[in-house]
Structure 1
Amino acid sequence: PVTKKPELCNPDKCEPPKCMCESDKPPVPVENMTQFVMLTFDDAVTQQNMKFYKELLGDPKRKNKASGCRIAATFFASGAYLDYPSVNELYRMGNEIALHSISHQTDGP
């Protein structure tokens, strides 16, 4: 079978934001590059682990010292063994709540 080689990217025709050629350099200067850190937690939210969450995410620690941006987390909770008042408190603190299952059981063997 005949295979066609992929076309080389032409930086003169391919410009961000719709196109970007491969490179070993970042698309913007590093000092201008937005950085993201995702803080997530998995499974049940209980009264026992709320002390840790409050210590980690509670005021005044909820601001990034360099940028002043608010720090928040996503909680991927399972419905079983969930303390709903604690989940409500995390939500009111500005965190995202997601449900990944009710019982954390799989259908497979």
Structure 2
Amino acid sequence: METIKSLGYFLLAGLFEIGGGYLVWLWLREGKSIAYALLGAVILVLYGVIPTLQPANFGRVYAAYGGVFIALSLLWGWKIDGIVPDMYDLLGGMIALVGVGIIMYAPR
């Protein structure tokens, strides 16, 4: 059960970081209103809170989160921006997720 909660926190943090960053991106790069930036900033602050719910220490959580971020960024680009990941994107994402599993969930 602890692992499932941990995976949920990773997913939620990833969606908040990427989503918040994407809103700021739309404001700066696509000329959207300042409301996009402000909402993005709020979401990014919430992203900063979510990892504190993880059961592991700061360094381990943030190291593992890097791998989750890689995979979620590829999915976001595919589903939101329509950029289909190629074989190397998918391979790199899978390698990153294997690293997450080792860092966070290997028996110690």
TM-score by length of structure 1 reads 0.28
| Structure with greater helix share of residues | 2
| Structure with greater strand share of residues | 1
Larger Rg: 1
TM-score by length of structure 2 reads 0.28
